[in-house]
Every structure is written in C-alpha cells, then in structure tokens.
Structure 1
C-alpha cells in the first residue's frame, strides 16, 4: 500500500477574535470534501470552540490524556458529521507540556504527522509564546489569520517577526556569532531607525560570513501564508499586501497571500448552534479558493499545466540585496539585482565613491517557464551576493586590492 502524503497545517495569528477557529474548522471541512482525509486538532487555549464548529457536543478523552498515556489514539479521535474529517479535542495544554529541552515538541509533531490522515489542521489560538512559535515553525504550512483592523495587522506582523527570530535562534542555537547579533536585535532595538534583516546579515557578515549565508538561506525558505478574514469587501486584500510589504522590507520574508474571506453576520451563530457549516455557502467557496491556493503553491505537480502547455513567464524581478562594507580603508556598497525577463540574468556590482569597481553577471539557471524558477533565482542571488562579500573581505577581488 502506497503511503499517503501527510501535511501539518497550523493556523495562527497572535490576536484573539480574528476567526482562527472558524477558519481552521472550515479548512478542515473543505479538505475532506476535496477527498483529502483530514484531522482537526484543537490546540487553542481559548476554549473548545473547534469541536462546536464541527458539531460535536459530547466531551471525551483529550489529547492531554493521550500524551499522559491515559487514552489511546483511537480514544481521542472523534468522528464528525463531515465524512473524511475527524477531531482531536483538548490539545490546548500540549504546547505548555512541551519542555524546550525534552524534544516533546518534536514528538508531538511526529505523532500528528503520523496520524492516519492526509492532512492535519491545528488551531493554535492567539498565543505567541515561545512554545507556540516553535510549533508554528515546525509545521509544513503556517497560515496567518488577520482582519482589516490596525491592531490585528500589528499583531500579525509581530507574530511573523517573533516566529522568524525564534526560528533563527533555535536553528543556530550553537552558533555564538548568530546568537550575539540576534540578542542585540531583539533586546536593543534602534529607536531612531527600524533595523532590517539585511542589517542583520551585514552585521553578522562582518564577523561570520559563512553563518550569514546560512541564515539568509533559512530566511529565503521561510514563507508562511496570510489569509484576510472578516473582510468588508475585496478591497481589504490591501491588508495582506501591507503586511507582505512590511515583512519583505524589514524581515526579507515573502508571505504568500492565500485568500480573503468576506464577513458574514450569519456565521456568528454557527458555533452556538453546534452544526456543521453550510457546504455550498459563500464561506465554503472562499475557503476552498484559499485551500486551493495553498495546494497550488505546495504541490506544483498537482496544479501544473498539461504536457506541452506553456507556463506563464516570470515577469516580476525578485527584490535585490544590498550591503555596505568598510574594507581596507574603503567604504564599499555591494548590490545584487535580478534583471527580470529583459535581462534574464543576476548582476552583482560593487560601488566605491559612486563608481562601479567590480561587476559579475550570472545567466538565469533555467528557462523562466520552470515552476521552480523563483526559488532557484533567489538561491542564485543569495549565493552570488555573499560570495562577492567573502571575496572582498579575503582580498580575492583584484580591483579592490591596495595598489
């Protein structure tokens, strides 16, 4: 028997009242209706609303009982009214039980990923503790829920920032140079000017270029999804665009906008009525579009055009990289840019006193119709940029050597 694909999707956001539980329930139901067996997990500390949204009224053994060996996997899995969808309730304490030193979080993730379902959808609730951030970072797909409210937008961006810094902290726990720069960024922010991830790279590159390269690779691959909930109109898609822009500018993180859910006053009573959501209503259709958007990005082979069909070309250049260096008495600026379809290349230039003193160009690694082009271009840009910085610091670029 061929093993199923198992994907762990986690719903987070950092603020109460943005509808994370409703979205988690709806995503779970939509996956099941698409023929993808799913398990919904209630890990929210804000009550047991997820089981209410899924039409379950009777309490039973919880996830905590399973972790403490008081119940079996079969005992804690509850069938819902939706075929192909089951629920694990009472998992709100699992993150608090996850001792950072014990590997408990990884054990929980392995357990959830090993469940007999193609997808596991976890409602994290509004918490943003280190345990919650770690769990968000360990999942396959992190989905950030935000509403058209300034406070919600602030919390959403802050959640991404905290989760990214936490991810760097854990992945480079034994690298002193990374921890030192990270500590300064987190504990001593510059009040006069918000510091960016590029500032982080630059500061780290001055002492440990190799680690700067590795941190940049981690950040390049950090791509949560963002979904706008309770929107008053399609214009509220601008909410996602604002957070995407801030995340790219300050964190160098590419958030994927996976959809928008319009506000519907009829939805408010669903949890109290403890009945499943309307299968063919507007909410289900909007959530299905969001789910398909995530699947299209994470499973390109399922959404790729038929053989021989042309793919849309890559038209938008990837944002460039910039660093300022002071080497052997010279102030230098290193700039790497993707020239887009017009140039089909990546160029790195070194400036001194406004003049270009060094330049290197690399052609696109593949044709721009390849579905993985953007990922490979980002990797090419990052590698070329930091290779030039290392060569400058090691005196291997002749144009920059002292006469």
Structure 2
C-alpha cells in the first residue's frame, strides 16, 4: 500500500498513461492543491495580508467533480474555503480594496518609454528623496522598485506598510550582497530614505482613494476591468451583478468600486472595455435589479433572444463568475455581432437602467411594417 506519489511510470513515459486512474490521480492532486491554497490563504489572512487568489482557482474543484466518490471530500474542502471567504468578507473593508485597485492602476502607468503621469508622480517622490540624502539613484532600478511596491499591495495583498518593510529588507540584502558601498552608514542612509518614501507613497495612495470613493453601475466585458484577474474576481464576488455569456459575448452589469472604472475607461477597443452607466447607483444593490437591467438591454439592443439566458451571481453561485469555460449548450453570438461600446449602447444602457429602477420589463422594439 502507498500513496499516489509512490506510483512510478514505465521508463520513457513523462506523464500518466491515459485512462481512469490517470484522471483520478489528476483529480486527487487538484483537490490537494486547492486545500493547500486554502491553508496558505488562512495564514496570509492571519498576518493581515489579503489572500488575493482566494476567489480565482475554483477550476481545480471542477476536475474532481467527475468522480462521485469524491463528492464528500469536495464538500469538506469547499466548506473550509467558504469559512475563510466569510471571515475575509467580514474583516476586509472596501477602503482596502480600493487601495489595491488604485495600486494596480498606478502600477499599470509604468511604460517602456514615457511613463504615465500617475506612475511618474510616485517615481519622482523616490527620486527626490534619494537626492535629498546625497544618493544618486539609477532611474531604471528605481522604476522597478516603485512598481514592485505597488504590485505587492495590489497582487500580493500586502498593506502599504508591509510593502515598505519588504522593500527595506530587499534593499538591505541587495546592498550587502551587491552594493559598491557596503558600509553600515550608507545602508542606513538608503534604508532611511525608503522609510520616508514609503510613508509618502502611503499617504499619496490613501489620498487618491478619497477622490474616487463610492460605487458605480457598469456594463463591461468579461475580464475587461483592466485590473488583474485576481482583483476582478474579488470585485465580482463581493458586489451584486448579472451576466450573459453567449459565444463571444461575455457581458456583465453590476456594481464596482469607482476606483475600478479608471482602468476600464482606458480600454480603447470598440468591443472590449465597458460603459459607466451611472455613479449614482444607490438603488442597484441587489443582483435581481442588475439582472432586470441587463435583460432590458438585451431586448432593446437587438439581442432579445438572449434575455432568458441572463443570470445573477446568486443563481449560478460563485463558480459561475469565476470559470472561463462555456458549456457549449447555450446560445452563441459571433464577434462581429456584438454591439460596440459607443454612444448608442450608452443611451440604451441609460434607458434600460431607468426602466429597471421602476421595476419595468422593456419589450423588444417593434418592427415597422413596410408598405
């Protein structure tokens, strides 16, 4: 007797031979991986680090669902994940989420040649601080360090203070190993500069969140929030929404933080990105009203046959929002048939929203009869 890890393949084989045993082994590994990630996420959360991948890897469970004998184990593992998600939702405030979203957006302003002003502003703070203590900082590594600080907040879930602490530790180790001047005096001067930079950056990030507070009602394409997949999954899991997926048409209507609209507005492709319907979305706090809006939009935009396929996050559950796979049994829309994110669709969104606010279901536009 032994475990799956004790199995060996015949010489020359680099993978399991196809068959039920190989599928079962793959499913078992997926469950182990999923549960290990849950345990790691618990440890991160205990240290005040947001486990950003918590909502993003439910595909691992789907691999195992083909085996009925694993149902009880899947339920047990899922409950552990759900308890953690509930714990996170109670202790993870929207201000923290907005800081993560803004950190992503600012970091995305780092460009190969001329940085966007939002990133340049952070970079200039670091440049000026090093210059004030008599250290000439090379622009390229400083740009990398600025991006790394923002990345740790947005994609690793660290607080701004923890991201600064990691940068200081990185600087200390790098100076001792590779620095031309390895004196303790120079190291303390550089570390002191990073402490000041981190404090200023933290204040800047916090100040920016105050200018983009609140939530917006948005129509957007799947994965088009332009803020990274993990952050998108958190937003879609936290806020009410409804969605339609039909071939190339992947649309969602729902609340998102106003901070998340900054990246959305930078999308330039006509069939990608989205439309900010309103930033006064106080009466769209339930998924059913979002569903009615999207159903209305389907009817008046020439896609009335899709209205019956609109689903809320409640109706499909967490898994429906996180999977990238279509069943293949539903409706299908070609890329060329998708309405463009332009003025006409924006006006249709407004009409659909006003009707949904009144609880009204709009009919498809009537066709004019020819003579």
Give the TM-score range, shorter chain. under 0.3
Larger radius of gyration: 2
More helix by share: 2
Q: TM-score, normalised by structure 1?
A: 0.25
Q: TM-score, normalised by structure 2?
A: 0.27
More strand by share: 1
